[in-house]
Amino acid sequence: MKVAVTSKGKEPGSEVDPRFGRCRYFAIIDTDTGGFEAVENEGALAAGGAGPQASQTLSRTGARGVISGSVGPKAFEALKAAGIEIITGGAGTVEEVVKKYMKGELKPVTSHSVDSHSGMGGRRG
């Protein structure tokens, strides 16, 4: 199964990006084969609706789960519609959180963890 991690870089050792909609990359990991791929989040700088756009990008990668720091309400709704499991509170490197996830140490959440525009660094558009 494929699982995505919001990432600041393109490597397995890159740090987890705590923002969902405005993360730099999605690290896509195939938990069966160990395959790794980094997909750029084109919506990172969107004026609005970065969360839903990122959810759509993610849905097209075939990922069945996503690990991030926090997820806003619109992204949560879109990810839920796409049937993608959401895990928040991810921190450390991509490799580390995937290991934790595979050991079953990270549990999916059932509601969004932050309000709209939380990833905008105080500039609330």
Partner 1 sequence: MKITVASGKGGTGKTTIAVNLALSVEDAMLIDCDVEGPNSHIFFKEPMVKLKDVSIPTPRFDLDICTYCGKCSDFCQYNAISVVQDKLLFFEELCHGCGGCRIICPVNAISEEEHIIGTIEKGGEEELPLYHGRLNIGEPFGVPIIRELKGLAGERPITIFDSPPGTACPAVETMRDVDFCILVTEPTPFGLHDLKLSVDVIREIGTPFGVIVNRDGIGDDRVESYCERENIPLLARIPNDLEIARLYSEGIPMVKGIPRYGEMFRELFERIRGLVR
Interface ranges with partner 1 (CB under 8 A) = 43, 46-50, 52-53, 55-56, 59, 74, 77-79, 81-83
Q: What's the min distance (Å) between Cβ of 33 and partner 1? A: 23
**CA angle 25–43–18, rounded 5-degree value:** 45
Of 48 and 89, CB closest to partner 1: 48
**CA angle 103–105–109, rounded 5-degree value:** 130
Of 31 and 56, CB closest to partner 1: 56
Q: How many Å apart are CA 63 and CA 73, to the nearest integer?
A: 20
Q: What's the min distance (Å) between Cβ of 46 and partner 1? A: 6
Q: What's the min distance (Å) between Cβ of 67 and partner 1? A: 18
Q: What's the min distance (Å) between Cβ of 28 and partner 1? A: 16
Q: How many Å apart are CA 66 and CA 125, to the nearest integer?
A: 26
Of 52 and 69, CB closest to partner 1: 52
In which residue are the tokens 């699982």 written? Answer: 3
**DSSP letter assigned to residue 51:** H
Of 12 and 49, CB closest to partner 1: 49
> Helix H segments across the chain?
50-61, 73-81, 94-102
